[in-house]
Amino acid sequence: MTAKVQSVGFIGAGMMASAVMEGLVSKNVVDSSGSIICSDLFKEALEKAAERGFKTTEVNRDVCEFAVDAIIVAVKPNAVQTVCRDILAVENKTAVIISIAAGVTLEELERGLPGRRVVRIMPNTPCQVGEGASCYSLGTLANAQDREIVEVLFGAVGLIREVPEHLINAVTGLSGSGPAYVFMFIEALADGGVRAGLTRADALKLAAQTVKGAAEMVLKTESHPGVLKDQVCSPGGTTIAGCDELEKGGFRSATIQAVKAATKRSMQLGHVAEIDITNKYNL
């Protein structure tokens, strides 16, 4: 979808908000960066956003007054209920409220925002370069137009899917957290290349391009990744020797465990957000 939106607000201007804001501008979803406003308690975050041409404010209510299409809640899970109180203080009934907070359920959002249309979404940082992966669920009062806004905003910056809410924690464990696992893999591939004599710069480029190319093959051919892996492995050749080492190191099992652990952690975060507002967990 390429429809333009009039104005969008972000409460919290940190890592994930910046990634989505950059993506929306570069994909021309908004006329200019001036159609996006963000608020934060942290001055440096606002200064960075202002340098990129976004409107900024220290007052969350300003965001709610400015945003016509959507207010995106982009604070850590334990700050969501505080932000809900700021949102409720402004009579903005047009904007749908979209939370990207890990673990915070639609029920918790609707309890904090009675009578408001809410959406829970889990994006990831590659939204910044238009290659995100986001899954969302609509709250009980959200309507077809709200679904369209979510699809326009997050569809412009990557893949977008509607899923039943109970799957969003699994999405968080896989695509929400997944970029970090992939970055670790790229770093390790590059370390291997350096160990084998390549320059760091060449090794990093080769590693990143290899991951990008392999991912494109999975998406474009729709082949099972095991089939594509077999095509690289010559009998008695180099690749199977490398695969052998990965299996010895528990590579696949470790990856599965990582997704499971992150999913479990996501399930805990909504609860933590409810009971802990002390920043103890630094969420």
Ligand X SMILES: O=C(O)[C@@H]1CCC=N1
Residue 97: name its binding partner from ligand NAI, ligand X, none (Cβ under 5 to 8 Å by kind). none
> Does residue 39 touch ligand NAI according to CB under 6 A?
yes
Residue 41: name its binding partner from ligand X, ligand NAI, none (Cβ under 5 to 8 Å by kind). ligand NAI
* Binding positions for ligand X, 51-110, rule CB under 6 A: 102
Neighbouring C-beta atoms of residue 121, cutoff 10 Å: 24
Provide the b/e sequence for 59-72 (b: ≥16 CB within 10 Å). Answer: ebbbbbebbebbbb
CA distance 112 to 80: 9
Identity of the residue, 56 or 177, whose beta carbon is nearer to ligand X in the bound complex: 177
CA distance 145 to 142: 8
Question: Which residues does residue 15 pair with via DSSP β-bridges, in sequence order?
Answer: none
Q: Which listed residue (1, 3, 15, 254) binds ligand NAI by CB under 6 A?
A: 15
- Find the part of the chain contacting ligand X (CB under 6 A) among 52-60, 171-179, 227-235, 274-282: 171-179
> Does residue 33 touch ligand NAI according to CB under 6 A?
no
- Find the part of the chain contacting ligand NAI (CB under 6 A) among 38-46, 110-118, 203-211, 221-229: 38-46
Which among 99, 168, 272, 274 has a CA at the least distance from the CA of 282?
A: 272
Least separation, in Å, of the C-beta of 67 and ligand X? 23
Q: Which helix (H) or strand (E) holds 25?
A: helix 15-26
CA distance 266 to 272: 10
* Binding positions for ligand X, 102-131, rule CB under 6 A: 102
Number of residues forming the site for ligand X (CB under 6 A): 4
> Does residue 176 touch ligand X according to CB under 6 A?
yes
Q: Tokens in use for 155? A: 């569809």
Least separation, in Å, of the C-beta of 184 and ligand X? 14
Question: Which residues does residue 11 pair with via DSSP β-bridges, in sequence order?
Answer: 39, 73
Number of residues forming the site for ligand NAI (CB under 6 A): 28
- Residue 134 burial by CB count (10 A; 0-12/13-18/19+): exposed, middle or buried? buried
Neighbouring C-beta atoms of residue 16, cutoff 10 Å: 23
Least separation, in Å, of the C-beta of 181 and ligand X? 11
Binding-site residues for NADPH, in ranges, read 60
Binding-site residues for NADP(+), in ranges, read 11-16, 74-77
Binding site for ligand NAI (CB under 6 A): 11-17, 39-42, 45, 60, 74-77, 79, 82-83, 100-102, 122-125, 176
